[in-house]
Amino acid sequence: MKWIKYDITTTTEDADMIGEILSEFNISGYEISDRVPLTKEEEKAMYTDIPAELEPDDGTSILTFYTEAPGNDTQEFFSTGSSLRDSTLEEQMTVLQPDDLVQSILQRIQELSFLQTPTITYCVQDDSLWKDKWKENFKPFHVADDIIIKPTWEDIPSDAKKDDIIIEIDPGSAFGTGTHETTKLCLLALRKYITPETTILDAGCGSGILAIAALLCGAKSAFCLDIDPAAVEGTLENAQKNHISSDRLQAIHANILENHKEILAQCHAPFHITVANILADVIVPLTDYIGEFMNEDSIFISSGILAEKADMVEKSLHKNNFTIIEKNTMGDWVSFVAKKTIDANNEIKSQNATKHKKNNKPKYCKTLKKNDKPKYRKTP
């Protein structure tokens, strides 16, 4: 499908008002690009996998909106990007060609003397051009001294060393390029605990980056699952791109919170390391079940936790008999490395019960002299 992309270059001060003018032309969806630094509150509210590196603010803003190109489903061109074609909507729309739309917008802006006249350009684009535009910002980078994450469409960086581990990733629509703090926290924790015998459970695998990184760092095998079928497909594709065989990595479409018993029957639990880079609100209920995939020596790495919700996750881990051995932070994000301690608790309970039994003296007893008959007795 083809679209027409419009860019209105104006001042940051005028951008919001021009956005209001666009609504007069039934254009309700547009984006504003500028270099105004984000506030701490704005950064906290963002959950992006590719943090933007902004150049100095030059006072310029670009408003971008899209409309259908003539010839998609109809010969008419509507001044809105909507693909809906019901009669009520059509009556509310003005049929305009691109040049006419540009002139009409400029004329309306010039009627308001306090606004500077912007520059408006447009071009025809195919779906694939803007669908993959995010790739421009995803470049190879070091997640550790000897680990490089490289997009599949980029070349190996010139500073790569001979012994560096290079992970090739095409995240597609799934979360997990390795650039976000939550993913980095998991990758760094995984590296510390992996041995040649390590088996991995990746709950919420996204692009598969964590499992693939673990295998390339020497782990034995990985079992991945995600509620998004596209993520499962992407994980398997990324495994192939990194020359990982199907006997070392498996991925299934499943919801561990709803079907953990069925998943247990499919996988080879217990796992040495389980990892979940999701969100605090999912990790909390997950701690009720994840222990069933582990033994007393297993490690549970959880991430995707905003600092303000770390206490909630920590309490849930303790409630489910996990001992926290690491709490790591990066920016506003927190990760936990915890060890299962269920067997240890059971042992303590058993010892307490034995101790109680040994010291369990009858409440009512009388020291008797020889030949005395007891007046009363209570059996312990």
Spell out the domain ranges in the chain. 2-133, 138-342
Superfamily of domain 138-342: Vaccinia Virus protein VP39 (3.40.50.150)
The whole-number pLDDT of residue 153 equals: 77
3-state secondary structure of 190: helix
Q: Say how far apart CA 323 and CA 338 lie, in whole Å.
A: 5
* pLDDT mean for each 10 residues of the chain (380 residues): 89 94 88 82 56 73 87 43 38 65 94 93 76 65 80 81 86 61 90 95 92 94 94 92 94 94 92 94 95 92 94 96 94 93 44 37 39 41
The whole-number pLDDT of residue 190 equals: 93
Residue 210, C-beta contacts closer than 8 angstroms, at least 6 positions apart: 176, 183, 186, 187, 190, 200, 202, 275, 277
pTM for the complete prediction? 0.60
* Number of DSSP helices (H) and strands (E) in the chain, helices first: 12, 14
Tokens of 93: 């729309």
The whole-number pLDDT of residue 82 equals: 35
CATH topology of domain 2-133: Alpha-Beta Plaits (3.30.70)
Q: Which residues pair with 167 in a beta bridge?
A: 149
The whole-number pLDDT of residue 338 equals: 96
Q: Pairing mode, if any, of strands 322-330 and 333-340?
A: antiparallel
Are 2-133 and 138-342 equal in CATH topology? Answer: no
Residue 372, C-beta contacts closer than 8 angstroms, at least 6 positions apart: none
Q: Say how far apart CA 349 and CA 266 lie, in whole Å.
A: 33
The whole-number pLDDT of residue 192 equals: 92
Residue pair 15/61 in contact (Cβ under 8 Å)? The answer is yes
Q: Say how far apart CA 342 and CA 291 lie, in whole Å.
A: 9
